[in-house]
């Protein structure tokens, strides 16, 4: 197959080993435009990210973007939605900014999003949720919302080990449980298995605490339902604490230590590590969002709390996220392809720009990431927004490209500040 992709000669790969990122000054980053509104938002996101890098570092640093194909585009170019060439490049370069990709429900092709996650062994789903003044939140004090949910991506009920009530396998398992353990289940019982591994728990805990240290966060809360599911969720809690105290002793304090040794106040420069029961947390992130910072969650809890937290800021369309492992990462918007807005220059590119911001943080290009954050906040503050927000702010909307331009102009004004 002839190659449709050209790698810039002066670019170098980002090297990620054991979760440590080594970013050269001209790193090669792959991007997939995505389906639907992907064609509108991804090119704008790239311009905005480039501008942030330029404003932060002048000509000393520059991302060398390489477009790779997946989804509709790949179907046109290669006759295949996820071509071998794209897969080989992802395996080689390992950092991808990805526009949304369509996944059909109940049939059709398999999710390319999941395939990329697996190729990168991206076991951590990272989703920052931070309020921006101007958004219509259901909370009285939405400005107190600034959390990052770090969700385990590969374990738990999502491993899909389950059987329908009327299958041979479920019947066999029911019989086994009765015979071996004296556990009797009704004959109409479907069965799902909830596996939680110590290795997988500890690597996500390590990831979350390291993230908290690198990004100067205050608290890491272990979210679990260990009072009921003692040997899975309860073990998750225990194993996470074990990593915190064994590997990050100099950085963390537990709640117990804070109360016993420090008069209830977290000592300067330390990260508080605590745990909360999952159901309790759903009310607490609403009533006391300021108490939550980094949330470390197993797969299922993380899935639920991500959307609930997103709702607190009033609009999940503006959130970015990432799937990251020890050797690579894929960065994206939380939303999908919004087909009704495709090609109309009306979609909001903030989600994928936030995905890019997160990518810059992992790359260690924090100054550029901060510029993006400040520019987005300032744009909303100045009521420069796309139609999704303009319609309830009662202002004239900007188009996708015009919003991107507004962000770049704001960054110019932030130069050196
Ligand atoms: P969606 O694409 O997120 O769109 C749902 C609605 O959210 C839109 O109709 C629009 O709402 C609003 N919206 C989302 N993004 C927006 C943006 N950037 N700007 C303005 N409005 C935006 O969800 P979906 O319709 O459930 O999914 C469509 C396809 O996307 C599916 O094939 C799904 O599999 C895929 N998907 C992909 C990813 C991914 O690649 N990571 C994630 C989720 C879904 P209004 O009607 O209120 O204006």
Between 107 and 38, the higher pLDDT residue: 38
Given the residues 194, 200, 225, 384, the one annotated as active site: 225
Sign, CA torsion 31/313/411/358: negative
CB-based contacts of 129, cutoff 8 Å, min separation 6: 145, 146, 147, 148, 149, 306, 309, 310, 312, 313, 319
pLDDT in tens, 113-140: 889 998 999 999 999 999 988 888 999 9
Strand, coil or helix: what is 280? Answer: helix
d(CA 109, CA 96): 21
Atom of ligand 1 nearest to the CA of 332: 41
For residue 1, is pLDDT > 90? no
Is 225 catalytic? The answer is: yes
From 100, 303, 403, give the residue whose CB has the most ligand 1 atoms within 8 Å, as the site to mutate. 100
Given the residues 231, 279, 392, 415, the one annotated as active site: 279
Segments in 273-344 forming alpha helices (H): 278-287, 299-312
For residue 416, is pLDDT > 90? no
Tokens of 342: 């495709």
Strand, coil or helix: what is 406? Answer: helix
Measured CA to CA in angstroms, residue 291 lies from 8, 97, 204 at distances of 46, 31, 21
Determine the average pLDDT of the residues in 194-207.
Answer: 97
Determine the average pLDDT of the residues in 137-165.
Answer: 93
The residue whose CA has the least distance to atom 23 of ligand 1 is 336
- Ligand 1 centroid to 36 CA: how many Å? 9
Measured CA to CA in angstroms, residue 401 lies from 143, 408, 413 at distances of 28, 11, 19
* CB of residue 319 inside a 6 A radius of ligand 1: no
pLDDT in tens, 368-391: 999 999 999 999 989 999 999 998
| Structural contact between residues 280 and 292, judged by C-beta atoms closer than 8 angstroms | no
Is 279 catalytic? The answer is: yes
pLDDT band for position 265 (cuts 50, 70, 90):
very high
Kindly calculate the radius of gyration of the chain based on its CA atoms and give it in whole angstroms.
22
For residue 95, is pLDDT > 70? yes
Backbone phi and psi for residue 220, each to the nearest 5 degrees, phi listed first: -120, 120
The pTM assigned to this predicted structure is 0.93
* CB of residue 399 inside a 6 A radius of ligand 1: no
pLDDT in tens, 278-315: 999 999 999 999 999 999 999 999 999 999 999 999 88
Determine the average pLDDT of the residues in 238-254.
Answer: 98
Distance of CA 318 to the CA centre of its chain: 13
d(CA 99, CA 339): 13
Determine the average pLDDT of the residues in 169-192.
Answer: 97
The residue whose CA has the least distance to atom 47 of ligand 1 is 388
* CB of residue 332 inside a 6 A radius of ligand 1: yes
Is 158 catalytic? The answer is: yes
The residue whose CA has the least distance to atom 39 of ligand 1 is 100
Query: Which residue has 């709640």 as its token pair?
Result: 255
The residue whose CA has the least distance to atom 11 of ligand 1 is 338
d(CA 81, CA 86): 10
Nearest to 31 by CA among 74, 80, 82, 95: 95
| Structural contact between residues 44 and 349, judged by C-beta atoms closer than 8 angstroms | yes
From 99, 102, 306, 335, give the residue whose CB has the most ligand 1 atoms within 8 Å, as the site to mutate. 335
Would you state the pLDDT for residue 2? 63
């Amino acid at each position: 197959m002839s190659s449709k992709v050209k790698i810039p000669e002066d670019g170098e790969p980002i090297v990620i080993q054991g979760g440590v990122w080594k970013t050269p000054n001209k790193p090669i980053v792959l991007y997939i435009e995505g389906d639907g509104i992907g064609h509108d938002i991804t090119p704008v996101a790239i311009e905005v990210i480039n501008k942030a890098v330029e404003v932060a570092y002048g000509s000393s640093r520059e991302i060398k973007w390489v477009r790779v194909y997946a989804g509709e585009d790949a179907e046109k170019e290669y006759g295949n939605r996820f071509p071998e060439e794209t897969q080989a490049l992802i395996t080689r370069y390992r950092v991808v900014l990805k526009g949304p990709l369509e996944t059909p429900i109940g049939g059709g092709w398999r999710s390319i999003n999941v395939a990329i996650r697996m190729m990168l062994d991206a076991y951590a789903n990272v989703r920052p949720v931070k309020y921006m003044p101007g958004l219509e939140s259901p909370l009285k004090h939405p400005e107190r919302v600034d959390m990052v949910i770090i969700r385990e991506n590969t374990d738990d009920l999502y491993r899909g080990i389950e059987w329908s009530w009327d299958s041979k396998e479920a019947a066999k398992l029911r019989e086994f449980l009765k015979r071996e353990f004296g556990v009797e289940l009704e004959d109409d019982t479907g069965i799902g298995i909830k596996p939680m591994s110590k290795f997988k728990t500890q690597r996500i805990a390590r990831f979350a605490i390291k993230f908290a240290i690198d990004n100067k966060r205050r608290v890491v809360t272990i979210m679990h339902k260990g009072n009921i599911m003692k040997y899975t969720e309860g073990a998750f809690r225990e194993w996470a604490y074990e990593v915190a105290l064994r590997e990050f002793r100099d950085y963390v304090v537990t709640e117990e230590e804070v109360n016993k040794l420090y008069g209830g106040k977290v000592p300067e420069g330390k990260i508080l590590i605590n745990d909360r029961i999952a159901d309790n947390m759903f009310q607490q992130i609403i009533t006391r969002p300021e108490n939550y910072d980094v949330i470390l969650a197993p797969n299922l809890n993380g899935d639920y709390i991500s959307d609930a937290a997103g709702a607190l800021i009033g609009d999940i369309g503006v959130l970015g996220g990432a799937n990251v492992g020890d050797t690579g990462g894929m960065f994206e918007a939380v939303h999908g392809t919004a087909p009704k807005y495709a090609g109309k220059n009306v979609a909001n590119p903030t989600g994928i720009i936030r995905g890019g911001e997160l990518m810059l943080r992992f790359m260690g290009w924090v100054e550029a990431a901060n510029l993006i954050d400040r520019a987005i906040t300032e744009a909303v503050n100045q009521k420069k927004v796309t139609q999704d927000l303009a319609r309830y702010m009662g202002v004239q909307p900007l188009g996708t490209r015009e919003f991107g331009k507004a962000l770049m102009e704001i960054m110019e004004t932030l130069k050196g500040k």
